[in-house]
Structure formats: C-alpha cells, structure tokens
Structure 1
C-alpha cells in the first residue's frame, strides 16, 4: 500500500460497499478524522466508533495490511508533515496527560530508539563515516528544532576533524554560507517533520555542486532523503508540540564516536591540551586539586 493520501482514501472508498457494518463505521471515521486516527491504538479507535478491537484489526486486513500497526503507520506517513502545532497539541491530549506525561514520553522515546536500531542501514552509516574523512570541508545544516542537533554534531566533529562549518540563519543567507561547496565537500542536512524548506533547498544546492549529501531524517520518504546520497534514519514520532529528538541525537552520538575511534591519538592530544586550558581559564568548576 503506497503512503499516499489519495491512494489510501480511495482504497477505503472502493472497499466500503463490501465492508461489514462495524468496519463501515471505522472507514467513515478514518475518512473524516484520519489525522486523529493515525495516533490511536486499535482499541482506542474501536472504542471511538463503538466496535471491538478485533473488528479494527480485520478492517486493516480487508484493506490489504498485514495488521493494524501497518495501517496506522500508513496514516501517520500521510499527516506527519501536515499537522500544525495546534493540531499536534490536540492529538497529544489523546494519549499524554499531566498524570502520565513522564512515563508516556519516556516510553515513546524508548520505542523511537528501538525502531531506529531496526531501520538504520549499517553500511550507509559506515559510508557516511568514510565520506567525512575524505571531505575537504564538512557543512552541517539543521534549522529550527534541528539546530540543536546540528550544533551538537558540529561541536564534537570540530574537535576531531577541524574542518566543520555550521550553516544557520544569521547575517548571511543560507546560500551565501555554502556558495563554495564543491565535489570535495560533504553537506549533512538534519530535518524532521515539519521539514524546514531551507534545509531541503540547501541539500539540493549542494547536490547540484556534486558534493556528497548526507540526510539525517525520519524516513526514506522524507524530502531530505530525496536529495541525499546517504540517508541515516532516526525515528522521531511524537504526536505532540515538542519534537522527539532522542533517537536522532543517539544516531549523531554514534556518528561522532565512530569518527573519534579512528582518531584516538589526535583526540587524546586535543583533550589533554583542552584540559589544561579549561583549568587555567576556569572554564569548568574544579574541586580542590588534591581531590581530583
């Protein structure tokens, strides 16, 4: 089943006459409220329309899905880049309350990491590491909520490789900052729903200059992935007004460590020097020297 609203909705409409009475209630609900249905469990969806959980599962099978989770994922793919922040707040109220916020969010983040471990391509990961070592210059762009990820990645890569530049909103336009990108360089774009337009355009620009383009995003269907030579998948599902960046940060941590493991001696020298500088200029709070 293609992750396309028109195809999925059309399939429901075509099947509608042959559905059971209970399944028709589910179909009508999804056709009207697919944005809400996408984040409901089978039991919750069934309860909302007055049918059993097993009826919801059979409905998914009737549409050609192997189970309800596949139908749910298809619905989520339709709407995750279209939801406004207000809609995300409304949806979050369906499964996260003040009473269960801590447990609900932590469990969702655990699931994101588990799904990322299953989806990410290990060979692609190694190819990205290799491309970073071959690059003359590494550009990193992540806008809006992804800017924190871009800064974090750049901070540590710069300690190891010395040739990293963050591309961000500022005095210069995005394109002015990457005007000299070439086939000798790598551009890493980080973006999750709702995808920042400028990030997508920056990846397209770098690709037109024959640079290696890396996307860190949530799906191979992401508009960033469409512009990339290498795509690292990190699941970020969170039906809330706050983006879930736990799994993306974990992938970025792995990338930094993989690069660092190839430059152990250099890192050791760098941090040895930094420790002396940090102590001399009191960058960090140190206890009495005898206690360290």
Structure 2
C-alpha cells in the first residue's frame, strides 16, 4: 500500500475504507476528517481523547492508512502550512537568469526585512517571552537547518551574558531532550516550511509542561496556540533565497532583554 502524499490523497484513502470500518477505526476516521489542520498540533493523546478511543487505536488507524505511525500523518499536515520551497538547484538556475547585483538586492531585502520587523513583531509577545525566559533555571535553544545560525548566535549571546543555556544541535543524531527539566524553558526556532525535529522537540517539551517560546517567520505556525509566546519576523526574499537579518536582530533583542531582566 502506498503512503498518501497529500491531504487530499489521505482523505480519499479514508473515504475508500468506507463505513465498514470497525467502530473504533470509524471514530478515528471521523475525527481525522473533522479536525483538519489542527492535526498538525494535536498529540496522539489529544487525538485519542477527542475521538474517544485509546492511543493504540490511533496508531493502528494510521497504519491502516499506509503510514508508519501518527507522527507521519502530522508531518503531512505540517507541510500544508506552507508549500515546499524549490530545490537549491532550481534556485541557482533562477539566480543565473536574473542578472544584476546580488549584493545590492540582498542588501535592499535586508533593509526591508528590518523595517518590516518593526511592524510585524508584537511587543506584548516579546514581553511575555522575556518574562518566561528570565525566570527559567536553564534556557534551552533548538533550531535546525536554516534556523541553526539563529540558534547558535542566540546561545552565544546568552553564554556571554552569563545566562545558563544549552544548545540542542542534534549532532550525531543525539537527542538531548531529556536534559530539559522542570523549571527550564525552551526557545524553538523554526521557519516555514518548518523543521520536524524542532516541532517534535517543542511538542515533547509541551507534553512535559515545559514553557516554550516559538521563534518563527509566519503566524501560521504549528504549536503556536500552545506556546507561551510566539515571536514572528518575516524575511524578504531575493530570487527564492531568504536572509536572516530580521531574525538575527530579534535573537539579539531577546537575548539582551532576557539578560537585563535576570539581573533585575
């Protein structure tokens, strides 16, 4: 059985199974169709409770649909938050065809991103994030792929400011999530179309009642409704490439604000 590669294909697979499903599987099917995009941020336990089934029934239903488990279904819905971006080979082709000065375009885009961040950033969300992080025993920072540069820079700043901090970089595929304990807080940095590793790490922290601050570039972000604060700064695009000017500025803003608050 092939695995559905789109939400439309998933819904078609559910309808193909029809009303002849066993009662518990039918409950799972009805909830999956009704929940829609909420599945991107719904845990297995929450799904099971809403469908009035056991978590094991949710897993069995996902396997019946052709998935390895529920997390694979979630990835399908998370991908729907923003279309997948072109491969780098395609972007390089567009870059060659564009002509003009790349440096000039990137500089103008950086200026526009920084100016846009003044309007995009919600001061109340920033204040809430600073309050949560200032009280944390240890701040954990997680950001993969493009977000790693922001995570590393923020960790460097916290370290220099004397703020206890741990960078979760998944080197050698090691998961340091167990190091996050009660009293700590997590900064999860992920930009659309989002890193599954970061989203999974943030969800694991939320499941253990660890406060999470999300750092992203779109308000249509998974887990946004469950986070203590969502810091959103979009970046301007140049020939399908996005910089990090606004994100790095916000990273410095957050680190300095938290450092100052902890001194108080």
Shorter-chain TM-score tier: 0.5 to 0.7
On the 8 A contact 2:186/2:211 being kept in 1, the answer is yes
SS at match of 2:242: coil
The answer on 1:245 being equivalent to 2:244 is: yes
TM-score, structure 2 length as denominator? Answer: 0.62
Q: Is the 8 A contact 1:192 1:236 kept in 2?
A: no
Q: Which residue of 1 aligns with 2:109?
A: 108
The C-alpha deviation readout for 1:228-247, integer Å capped at 9, x for no partner, is: 22110111232546431110
Quote the RMSD (CA, aligned, Å): 2.8
Query: CA distance change for structure 1 residues 130 and 148 in 2, over 3 Å: closer, same or farther?
Result: same
Secondary structure at 1:139's aligned position in 2? Answer: strand
Q: Distance in 2 between matches of 1:244 and 1:225?
A: 23
Name structure 2 gaps, 5 residues minimum.
1-7, 9-79
1:159 aligns with 2:160: yes
Instruction: Go from structure 1 to structure 2 and tell me whether the alpha carbon gap of 1:143 and 1:156 turns closer, same or farther (over 3 Å shift).
Output: same
In the other structure, the counterpart of 1:232 is 231
Distance 1:93 1:231 in 2: 37
- Tell me the distance in 1 between the aligned counterparts of 2:168 and 2:243: 22
Offset at residue 223 of structure 1 (A): 2.5
Counterparts of 2:115 and 2:196, CA distance in 1:
29
User: Structure 1 residue 224: deviation in Å?
Assistant: 5.3
The Cα offsets for residues 176-215 of structure 1, whole Å up to 9 and x where unpaired, read as: x011424421110111133211011111111111111111
Q: Is the 8 A contact 1:217 1:225 kept in 2?
A: no
The answer for the alignment partner of 1:259 in structure 2 is 258
Equivalent in the alignment of 1:218: 217
Matched, 1:134 2:145: no
8 Å Cα contact 1:225-1:231 kept in structure 2? yes
Distance 1:87 1:186 in 2: 39
- Tell me, what secondary structure is at the counterpart of 2:142? strand
Mark the runs of 5 or more structure 1 residues left unpaired by the alignment.
Answer: 1-5, 7-77, 266-292
Sort the Cα spacing of 1:187 and 1:152 in 2 relative to 1 into closer, same or farther, 3 A: same
Report how far residue 261 of structure 1 moved. Answer: 3.2
State the partner residue of 1:82: 84
Match of 2:180 in 1: 181
- Equivalences, count: 187
- The 1:92–1:208 alpha-carbon spacing in structure 2 relative to 1, beyond 3 Å, is farther
- How far did residue 251 of structure 1 move? 0.5
Report the TM-score, using the length of structure 1 for normalisation: 0.57
